[in-house]
Amino acid sequence: MVKKFINDRITRLLQIKALKLSFTLILSVLYFQPAFSQESSPGDIPSDEASIAAGKATFQELCTVCHAVDKRVVGPALMNVYERRDLPWIISFVKNSQKVISSGDPYAVALYNEYNKTQMSNFDYLSDEEIINIVAYIKHETDNPATPQAAASEDAAAGGAEAVEQGGIPSQYLTAILAGLLVILVIILGVLMLIISVLTKYLKDKKDLDEESQELVAQKLDFGKFFTSSGFLGLMIFLFAAVAFKSVIDGLYTVGVQQNYEPTQPIAFSHALHAGEYEIDCNYCHTGVMKSKNANIPSANICMNCHGQILTESPEIAKIYKALDYDKRTQTYGPNQKPIEWVRIHNLPDLAYFNHSQHVKVGGIECQTCHGEIQEMTVVKQHANLTMGWCIDCHRQTDVNTVGNKYYDQLVELHEASNKNQLKVKDIGGLECSKCHY
């Protein structure tokens, strides 16, 4: 009996194993199929994650300014480019496109003319391997196109994570929660009233109550008397005074604070389009962030790197041409140039000193921490309140980014000897008046 049972178990186990094995086999065949069929395509495009990740990094650093995988930007969509051209051609074109074009390669010449003779930059400093990695990334993106839905949910997740990280409840939720609590309180009050009236009615019908209890039951709640009592009036006056006092103080604190300031700009320039959809690096336009105090607003010449060719008929782009006194037929610039008058949004008073490169380059802080999700804004809006309290709060809470920064090595050692907390900005003088005030 027992033996049969054990035998049964073993056969079942073996069956499961066999099932699993064949399943793995099917999966691996499915998985490797693209790899087999790839052999017919020229050259070897790696498909391992490391190459793809390396390619992605290079692509985003150097190419997204002009290319996207799935759509035309300044240059063509690069989807399937490894099928249009072979690897050696792509490598030589990326290294020096002008050389390929001037050699008379008919494909390159046709492409060059199709793109109004826009010159692609030379990347002769890239190695063959680096370029092959870019192609690996392009192939990966071609095979697995990102769905907008996935991206959106990723964004939502990131947003949620941010809210958790900041450790606070967003104010709109707070209001909703308070309103919810109020509704619950009113319902509880209603139910209590109902219970009281039912009980009173029940007790009134009862005859065998003593006198005291009868009096209590007969007693009515006298609202008129309650509202005119001095205790109630005193409480109300106190509450009113407290609310008024707090709003005056709050009002005073916001003098000169321009949070959520969102002026209309002279040209309908959209970060959602440029930095979001086309993923142009912030650095490409705000050229100072990494190396100086000011981030800089780009000059119209930077716009012309692209708008010399794209959307030349748009009335908004015509404003750029006007500022540069540019004639799009002759493609020449005239003498009557004047800067575009962008409306400044973020502006600290002159008494405060703030330096971008210190925060972005040395501190490793993302633009979004201070400026919000700029890449989703059609019109830029001031995200933080830029008060002294805001600067100080962050300096109290933020760890100094000391990794790989020799400048801090000794300081970290000294700090760790006397203190078990991480080195914060406040420990390096981030709360000293003279660091921020001239």
Considering only residues 336 to 375 of the shown chain, the ones binding ligand HEC according to CB under 6 A are 342, 344-349, 351-354, 356, 358-360, 362-363, 365, 367, 369-371, 374-375
Q: How many residues bind ligand HEC (CB under 6 A)?
A: 104
In angstroms, what is the minimal distance from the CB of 238 to ligand HEC? 31
- CA nearest neighbour of 300 among 339, 357, 327, 258: 339
- Binding segment for ligand HEC among 4-12, 166-174, 270-278, 330-338 (CB under 6 A)? 270-278
| 98, 118 contact by CB (below 8 A) | no
Q: Which is nearer to ligand HEC, 47 or 401 (CB)?
A: 401
**C-alpha distances out from residue 293 to 61, 78, 285, 289, Å:** 23, 37, 15, 7
For residue 241 the two structure tokens come to: 């005074």
Tell the burial category of 21 from Cβ atoms under 10 Å away from its Cβ (0-12, 13-18, 19+): exposed
Please list every residue from 166 through 225 that binds ligand HEC, using CB under 6 A: none
394 is a contact residue toward ligand HEC (CB under 6 A): yes
Identity of residue 101: I
- Name residues whose C-beta falls within 8 Å of residue 374's C-beta, 6 or more positions apart in sequence: 271, 275, 282, 367, 368, 380
- Binding segment for ligand HEC among 165-173, 215-223, 288-296, 413-421 (CB under 6 A)? 288-296
- CA nearest neighbour of 380 among 437, 288, 307, 295: 295
Q: Which is nearer to ligand HEC, 45 or 66 (CB)?
A: 66
For residue 402 the two structure tokens come to: 């000391």
How far is 409 from 411, CA to CA, in rounded Å? 5
Please list every residue from 117 through 136 that binds ligand HEC, using CB under 6 A: 118, 120-121, 123, 134
Q: Which is nearer to ligand HEC, 80 or 175 (CB)?
A: 80
Angle at 162 (CA atoms; ends 161, 165), nearest 5 degrees: 85
414 is a contact residue toward ligand HEC (CB under 6 A): no
- Binding segment for ligand HEC among 14-22, 170-178, 261-269, 329-337 (CB under 6 A)? 261-269
430 is a contact residue toward ligand HEC (CB under 6 A): yes
How far is 428 from 358, CA to CA, in rounded Å? 13
Interface residue with ligand HEC among 54, 132, 306, 324 (CB under 6 A) is 306
139 is a contact residue toward ligand HEC (CB under 6 A): no
Interface residue with ligand HEC among 87, 99, 287, 298 (CB under 6 A) is 298
94 is a contact residue toward ligand HEC (CB under 6 A): yes
- CA nearest neighbour of 73 among 85, 82, 64: 64
82 is a contact residue toward ligand HEC (CB under 6 A): no
Q: Which is nearer to ligand HEC, 104 or 231 (CB)?
A: 104
Identity of residue 417: A
294 is a contact residue toward ligand HEC (CB under 6 A): yes
